[in-house]
Amino acid sequence: MFLYITLFEIFCQYVIFKNMLEILWWGVYLLIKEVKIMGKNFLDVIKSRRSVYGLSDKIDLKQQISEVIKESIVYAPSSFNSQSARIVVLFGEQHHKLWQITSDCLQKIVPTEKFASTKAKIQAFDAAYGTVLFFEDQSTVTELQNKFPLYKDNFPIWSEQANAMLQYCIWCALADIDVGANLQHYNPLIDENVRKTWNLPNSWKLIAQMPFGAISQPAGEKTSIPLDQKLKIFS
């Protein structure tokens, strides 16, 4: 009887040990697989990021979109780690309000006979799920200019470059979750109205607007000039 119990205990320990080895093996396998996927996915995401103009609001990803934007603004680089970029994300009625403001501003300056095509373009942006507004805080730029006068003329340039990197980070992050987007520049035409509508600081300079949403019409084929015209490698 004692022998049977001992053999049974050994058998149980063997099964437990075998299962633990299998779990460990699968864990290592999945980790390696994930690392490999992550290693190649970055370039895949870059390739998938396109200017998508066929957008709709037929998605429900507010939390996920908000999270990728939060991560992007925290980790996007900036000169002297200035972190001068500011973002406003608009969903729902707030999103529609932006494009109504844009339409109203454009109607004042676009000839009546040409406004129909302009209005159709704005309506396409309005049909999206939301919009990201990109700003640069000029008070931060001015502070750096005063602190480092030797680079005074460069800080506004570096500020714009950092904002462009943030725009690209968010654009790629949206593409990674199958959300389409495009980039618009109706500033400075809408600047004052935007500032007043959302009670934003005067130091926030509007840089760009990024409508985003479900992809109702994919972007066309991307064309490129010959690589040797825009890339040189020396070794």
Together in a domain, 120 and 166: yes
Does 186 map to a domain?
yes
For the chain, 235 residues long, give each residue's pLDDT as a single digit of tens. 444 455 555 555 554 544 544 544 444 444 444 444 444 488 999 999 999 999 999 999 999 999 999 999 999 999 999 999 999 999 999 999 999 999 999 999 999 999 999 999 999 999 999 999 999 999 999 999 999 999 999 999 999 999 999 999 999 999 999 999 999 999 999 999 999 999 999 999 999 999 999 999 999 989 999 999 999 999 9
Spatial CA neighbour of 176 closest among 31, 47, 33, 30: 47
- Cα of 25 vs its chain's centroid, Å: 36
Alpha-carbon distance of 170 to 87, in angstroms, equals 11
1 shares a domain with 68: no
CA dihedral 97, 101, 102, 108 (to 10 degrees): 160
Q: According to the model, what pLDDT value does residue 41 have? A: 86
Statement to judge: residues 35 and 58 lie in one domain: no
In a domain, 223, yes or no: no
CA distance 131 to 152: 32
> Which residue in 135, 130, 137 sits closest to 89, CA to CA?
130
Does 106 share its domain with 205? yes
Helices 2-48 and 155-176, axial angle in degrees (round to 10): 130
- Terminal-residue alpha carbon distance, the chain: 77
**Structural domain contains residue 233:** no
Instruction: Examine the domain organization and report whether 160 and 65 are in the same domain.
Output: yes
Q: Are residues 32 and 63 both part of a single domain?
A: no
Q: Are residues 141 and 213 in the same domain?
A: yes
State whether 114 and 15 are in the same domain.
no
- Residue 230 inside a domain? The answer is no
Number of domains in the chain: 2
- What does DSSP assign to residue 188? T
Instruction: Please check whether residue 183 lies inside any domain of the structure.
Output: yes
CATH at 94: 3.40.109.10
**Which residue range forms the structural domain that includes residue 70?**
54-217
Residues 40 and 60 in one domain: no
78 plus 179 within the same structural domain: yes
Q: What share of the chain is helix, strand, coil (3-state, %, to 5)?
A: 60, 15, 25
Amino acid at residue number 120: A
Residues 79, 6 share a domain: no
Classify residue 232: in a domain, yes or no.
no
Can you name the residues that pair with 184 across neighbouring β-strands? 209
Residue 225 lies in a domain: no
44 and 65 both lie in a single domain: no
Q: Residue 84 has which token pair?
A: 């001068």
At residue 21, the pLDDT reads 44
E-strand spans in the chain? 54-56, 85-91, 130-137, 180-181, 204-217
Domain for residue 228, yes or no? Answer: no
